[in-house]
Structure 1
Amino acid sequence: MKKLNCIIVVLSLCFFSGFSQSETESGYGKGYRINFNDDGTKYMRFISWGQFWAQYNDDAPDGTEKLALSVRRARILSWIKFSDRFSMVAHFGLNSLNGNNTGPVGKDASAQLFFHDFWGEYKVANDFYVGAGLHYWNGISRLNNQSTLNMLTLDNNRSSWSTIGLSDQFARHIGVYVKGKLGKVQYRFALNEANTNTLDNDGTPRDVGTATVYRGREVLGSDEAGKVIQGYVDVNLLDQESNALPYKVGTYMGSKKVFNIGAGFFSHPSGVVLPNGEGDDVLLFAADAFYDAPLGDNGSAITAYATYQNNDYGEDFNLGPYATGNMIYGHVGYVLPGDKTKTRFQPYVAYSTRSIDAIDDNANQFKLGANIFFTGHHSKLSFDYTNDKVGNADATGVFTVQAMIFL
């Protein structure tokens, strides 16, 4: 615990010394922008962010470190507007760089830079767009479209990123999508390629044994598993959210008054192989609600989210955060009263419970944490305690400190 306390002190001193409390989030604008014409309708915009973790796990197995340091995310995103009709997004970076996956000279490390997103988009008509490429216009729920810049909790609810490594590359598929608005209704639908390489499949034919295996496109040589379809629709009952980019905001800290109700799905025909060797369909669907609003004029605000998700990955599928069964998840955060131009505090709590058909039992997770905002989401510290319990196994607890910079 002494090591952990030292890390917390160092991170806090770095942030307090590096950022004045009087700086406001608006001082950063919308990243670095290069205009290509006088009226600013053609431009390239850049943003970059980094998240740095110190984690303490008192339940770590004997012989392993209880304190772990890592770069959780290091990202750069560019958004190019060629005209009112054409745009392109390129987003690259790395995730979870730590002492176990760095290499002597970098090139042999397993955690390397790769494209998270690379897509082009065309405006067909007012509030209707078509795009193609490696994209994040996902289905299922708001959390499956979550931005990593402005999450309420330390990190996203892992089970809500419901297809990472199964049919996609880190929550992104290669495919085509449509998006748009109809009054207060926003929608996104996509037809995508399914991966050949999946988390529990190396792409080579093998006996699936007694487990249901996600095989992506490679189901007994069948072309039926080649494509996935997904979509999400939400009704913006109060302030309207932007859908220029796919990344859903986690907390507005009361800067908007938002109440959205949504529903979505993910369908992958013949996406898994059953123990008897036959292909089976994958079908996920969810309904959710999101609320974010100021509470009076004292600077306080509330953020609340809840979702129900039904997961059918095939009979008795179970792979860590992915399992056939049902999930209920929710979180609530509260920004304490205070001057909006100074340091702000936001405690939060989150809870999820998942039924896992394969073990005929539940997995439960509880989170308790807080964000300290020095300049909004541009510079903040987050503290999080997460307690996990799966079935009859002992519960495990992990304490994490995160320092984040977003420019």
Structure 2
Amino acid sequence: MKKTIILWVSLLACFSTLAQKTPDTEALKLKLNESGSRYFQVTFLNQAWFRFNDNNPGTTVNGSLQNQSFDIGLRRTRMQLYGQITDRTFMYFQFGQNNFNAQYNATGNRKIAPFFHDALGEYRVSSGNQLKIGGGLSIISGISRFSQPSIGTIMTMDVPVFAQTTVDQIDQFSRKLSIYARGQIGHWDYRFILSDPFPITSNGQTPPAISSSYANFSQKGHSLQQQGYLIYQFFDQENHTTPYMTGTYLGSKKIVNVAIGGAYQPNAMWQKSAQGDTLYQDMKHFAIESFVDIPLQNHAALSAYLGYFNTNYGTNYLRYNGSMNPATGTTLNASNSISGQGPVYGNSYPMFGTGSVVYTQIGYLLPSNRADLSNRLMPYISATFAKYDRLGNNSTTTFNAGLNYFIQGHKSKLSLDFQSRPTYQVNQGDVKAGNRLNSLTLQFQVFI
């Protein structure tokens, strides 16, 4: 690990030297009227990851056992097209791909990757932002700001993915076909959503068989999902152009918020009773959170978040997940690993489940004698404290610590992140905590 840290620091210095030559860029924006109130804009984003990972026990990569691995990948590659095309009509599209590394679709066709993330139209009913009605394929949702994050402005290396509660299960990478109302009235910011989820059978994976031990997403029946999110803003109002929520404003706004959110879908889950009958259960999620992002003296800034999540997917639901997993398989089986949803190999850990989660993060943009965001540093830490029913008395605690180097704000930045995550062992049906494992990732983000 020591040699790896030296390697990463060297790469960081190399990228810094090259990236400082990046010229200042303006948005690719076309005015549709003389004042510019009507416009159409295009953005591009790429997040390249260079990662060293301690693999979970039993991990295989293309059939070979590997305790550790190094991989290069594109965590996110996106193109946005959006604009205010009339005084009250807004349109938004996003196209791209995610988690593209050497193991992407290892047994299929690696060229099948990009897809439409969003495609929506929105009409502003009021003269201001008090009421907007929209519909289409969209990430807009309830629960939390991290359920609908602006990935180009993330403060940490990655978002807390557990807040995107049904990602790639009954949605399209957190997007659903929805109709919604959103707006800002005084200090209040609200959004109410009615979504038409996709069936679990269309997510490109073989759904697990119905179980008598734990709930899974139902493969029979269909119901709509209701979501809501309400924010009270003490000072400045948050950005409201798109439904995405900013990760950090880097001192450009004074934001102090409290928020509450939820989601409900009847009969979304199923399991078998002891007598063999099919039982259906509702999916219910709830969260309360606070977000602070404020400027300080000497052009410094503080960004902090604290949230409590109560997630209910039905009896003993648990799902493993690892971002851009660097592995392809495992030598473990149902007798010595946790069975159910998601791969237990590579960098995966229990990320989604019935239970409760506390998530927090804090970052500090270091002071500067210059007001711009060139050559600035922002260290951060984050922690996830989860307690899932399926794991009994074992908690799932994940820590991250990192450093952002803003070459030119969010347009060009380097991020170095260290993660410590848990593992679990199963012995005669009992789940016990195993050794903690680590990963070290360097990200280079470019965004115009």
Report the Cα distance in structure 2 between the residues aligned to 1:385 and 1:94, rounded to whole angstroms. 24
Report the Cα distance in structure 2 between the residues aligned to 1:71 and 1:402, rounded to whole angstroms. 9
SS in 2 for 1:403: strand
- 1:395 alignment partner in structure 2: 436
Report the Cα distance in structure 2 between the residues aligned to 1:345 and 1:111, rounded to whole angstroms. 37
Q: Residues 8-47 of structure 1: matches in 2 within 5 Å?
A: 9-10=10-11, 12-20=13-21, 27-29=24-26, 31-47=27-43
- 1:229 alignment partner in structure 2: 226
Alpha-carbon deviation of 1:302? 0.9
Report the Cα distance in structure 1 between the residues aligned to 2:30 and 2:201, rounded to whole angstroms. 39
Report the Cα distance in structure 2 between the residues aligned to 1:205 and 1:75, rounded to whole angstroms. 31
Contact 1:197–1:203, Cα closer than 8 Å, also in 2:
no
Question: What amino acid sits opposite 1:293 in the alignment?
Answer: I
Question: What amino acid sits opposite 2:126 in the alignment?
Answer: A
- 1:141 alignment partner in structure 2: 144
| Structure 1 residue ranges without an equivalent (≥5) | none
Report the Cα distance in structure 2 between the residues aligned to 1:335 and 1:183, rounded to whole angstroms. 29
Report the Cα distance in structure 1 between the residues aligned to 2:73 and 2:395, rounded to whole angstroms. 30
- Alpha carbons of 1:85 and 1:200: their partners in 2 closer, same or farther (altered >3 Å)? closer
Matched, 1:184 2:190: no
* Residues 327-336 or 41-50, more deviating: 41-50
Alpha-carbon deviation of 1:226? 2.1
2:241 to 234, 239, 244: 244
Matched, 1:356 2:353: no
Contact 1:73–1:94, Cα closer than 8 Å, also in 2:
yes
* Residues 178-187 or 10-19, more deviating: 10-19
- Alpha carbons of 1:110 and 1:279: their partners in 2 closer, same or farther (altered >3 Å)? farther
Question: What amino acid sits opposite 2:362 in the alignment?
Answer: V
| Structure 2 residue ranges without an equivalent (≥5) | 321-350, 424-431
1:322 to 352, 356, 377: 352
Report the Cα distance in structure 1 between the residues aligned to 2:168 and 2:208, rounded to whole angstroms. 19
Alpha-carbon deviation of 1:20? 4.7
- 1:293 alignment partner in structure 2: 294
- 2:406 alignment partner in structure 1: 373
Matched, 1:118 2:105: no
Report the Cα distance in structure 2 between the residues aligned to 1:204 and 1:370, rounded to whole angstroms. 39
* Residues 179-188 or 94-103, more deviating: 94-103
Matched, 1:332 2:373: no
Report the Cα distance in structure 1 between the residues aligned to 2:207 and 2:167, rounded to whole angstroms. 20
SS in 2 for 1:149: helix
Matched, 1:96 2:127: no
- Alpha carbons of 1:159 and 1:103: their partners in 2 closer, same or farther (altered >3 Å)? closer
SS in 2 for 1:159: helix
Alpha-carbon deviation of 1:10? 4.2
Question: What amino acid sits opposite 2:309 in the alignment?
Answer: Q
Report the Cα distance in structure 1 between the residues aligned to 2:48 and 2:209, rounded to whole angstroms. 40
- 1:85 alignment partner in structure 2: 88
- 1:405 alignment partner in structure 2: 446
- Alpha carbons of 1:139 and 1:267: their partners in 2 closer, same or farther (altered >3 Å)? same
Question: What amino acid sits opposite 1:264 in the alignment?
Answer: G
Contact 1:200–1:213, Cα closer than 8 Å, also in 2:
no
Instruction: Give TM-score, length-normalised by structure 2.
Output: 0.82
* Residues 149-158 or 9-18, more deviating: 9-18
Partner deviation per Cα, 1:24-52 (whole Å, 9 max, x = no partner): xxx534x2011233332332101111000
How high is the sequence identity, in percent, across the aligned residues?
A: 28
2:44 to 45, 48, 63: 48
- 1:347 alignment partner in structure 2: 379
Partner deviation per Cα, 1:321-370 (whole Å, 9 max, x = no partner): 11000000101101111133331111111111111101212110011111
Question: What amino acid sits opposite 1:53 in the alignment?
Answer: W
Report the Cα distance in structure 2 between the residues aligned to 1:155 and 1:234, rounded to whole angstroms. 23
Number of residue equivalences: 393
Contact 1:34–1:44, Cα closer than 8 Å, also in 2:
yes
Partner deviation per Cα, 1:105-134 (whole Å, 9 max, x = no partner): xx9226500011100111122321111100
Partner deviation per Cα, 1:235-276 (whole Å, 9 max, x = no partner): 111111122211111111212111011000011110000232
Partner deviation per Cα, 1:128-167 (whole Å, 9 max, x = no partner): 1111100121100111121101111100012112120232
SS in 2 for 1:125: coil
* Residues 262-271 or 383-392, more deviating: 383-392
SS in 1 for 2:17: helix
Q: Residues 126-205 of structure 1: matches in 2 within 5 Å?
A: 126=127, 127-197=130-200
Partner deviation per Cα, 1:3-26 (whole Å, 9 max, x = no partner): 7755653454244233359x7xxx
- 1:312 alignment partner in structure 2: 312
Report the Cα distance in structure 1 between the residues aligned to 2:77 and 2:295, rounded to whole angstroms. 31
